[in-house]
Chains A and B, each alone.
Chain A
């Protein structure tokens, strides 16, 4: 793992949302969802962002993968700012970063077979058909889904299986960076453990760098090398997981550690 040529660097990034006007002619109040956030994910590193709902962690993740534009600051993936390059390059760059969402129901097309959903990202990569299919089936097998089930539809799978399929879809283009936003929050405890183990296996197998977002400090503690604690749009502290857990610098982190202890 190296931090001098990081896969992701976020520098002083901010994002504000306009709130509904309170009075007819007054200015619309703004919500600072993310304020002056900076962080770095080294190659092959797993960084966790922990925070409660409304802390800005998902907004930050969405800016990293280019789903949302920051108001200020710079984001660099592999040295390039996805928000400052052209559409064609952005499309090309997107292959290098993928995202897994909390709700695997919402992230798979219910009218497409899971095989189609896992193959689709490879279309943009311009691979020949036979290679697309074999790559997709291989990836399904690696996440623990029987490739023979590729012609089935999302509703035929359990929540945990759907999350595996969503992970296969994200990883099929072999991204360098995987952003996982609450990847296990909607899963049962025993299935959560399966998915967390799977993420760790894929991290080891592909040398994948990961940015994992969760409200659950125990989840972050189990799979991350370093952790950033966010609250009210700001990153309060960042450090090696063990250091942050055993000697939290911030009172809020202490409260979190005791709530999850």
Chain B
């Protein structure tokens, strides 16, 4: 349904996203994970034709057979919101504080579906109900500030659903929420994609949330897709050293077991756009780096069972099936600056 092939987003000579490919089938939930500066939000914006004006977007974005990449804004406008819609991160700034919830939600419905007032109101009520907002009729006349963070996020989801999109892109939809609320919003998104047969692209830096929300995962680092595969298999046995390092660095209740423990770390930091090695973007931080990594870009190798990873180690004989290991705690220097 949504097919992205070799999508690059460039600012001058610098790549924010380099030859990223991903596909989302109807009803499928795909996660995009990575740290800030890895290109995931630029990728999301490009999928809606909303990349910054200074950016040059190349490659292919096909939605239901239609090529959108490189097309005029007019063509995007026919699809944005209608076929492919977005849930933003910050529910307070994404909702107009001067409009009532009913007005906010009626706008896209009137626009896309050309319904009359009464029909639009009925539709707004059913959307609010669908996203699990209690007493929807009372919400119609309320303003965004009168709702809790979790409810605002639900309103944003309802807003994205207004035109019955076939693909929903959620950019860090749980980052602003408390843990308990985040879990509920994730469960709602899963339920909605199942019920509507809608594809979901779930962008997050939080591995725990991605594990709960998605079936397949795309791991981005430094603008590259470094690994992709079924979510649980990938998070349990990552093949790329970055994925492995990210998983190991995550504080975990189970691992801590109630005792203070040092966490394994990835030394250094994400290189900014324009200061990346021409080869593997992770070179310079990687604990198992080979001499050719900095200069030669590793191909995204097919590892079987829908898994792919881009690491030169995997092309070495015998290493293909072995999961990448996280470096031992404290094995690497942490000094930066």
Interface of A toward B, CB cutoff 8 Å: 46, 52-53, 140, 144-146, 149, 157-158, 160-161, 164, 188-194, 196-198, 200, 215-219, 221-225, 240-246, 255-257, 259-261
Contacts and interface: CB of A to CB of B under 8 A. Distances in A.
Interface stretch (B24-32, B135-143, B224-232, B250-258): B250-258
A196 B329 CA distance: 13
B195 interface: no
Contacts of A219: 251
B78 interface: no
Interface in B238-278: 245-246, 249-254, 256-267, 269-270
Contacts of A255: 180
B185 to A, nearest CB: 12
A190 B245 contact: yes
A242 B257 contact: yes
A258 to B, nearest CB: 9
Contacts of B337: 140, 144-146, 149, 157, 161, 164
B334 interface: yes
Given A144-B337, A259-B180, A46 B35 contact: no
Contacts, number: 121
Chain B: interface size category: 35 or more
Interface in B117-152: 149
B258 A217 contact: no
A215 B178 contact: yes
A209 B269 CA distance: 29
Contacts of A244: 258
B207 A144 contact: no
B205 interface: yes
B295 to A, nearest CB: 24
B258 A256 contact: no
Contacts of A246: 258
A245 B205 contact: no
Contacts of A190: 35, 245-246, 249, 265-266, 269
Given A145-B336, A218-B251, A243-B258, 15 more contacts: A53-B149, A144-B335, A146-B335, A149-B337, A158-B269, A158-B336, A160-B336, A164-B337, A190-B265, A191-B35, A193-B263, A215-B179, A222-B252, A222-B261, A224-B260
Nearest to A191: B269
Contacts of A242: 257-259
A158 B267 CA distance: 13
A192 B207 CA distance: 14
Of residues B253, B257, B264, B265, which shows the largest number of chain A Cβ atoms within 10 Å of its Cβ?
Answer: B253
B183 interface: yes
Interface string B267-294: 1011000000000000000000000000
Contacts of A53: 149, 178
Given A189-B205, A224-B260, A225-B260, A217 B35 contact: no
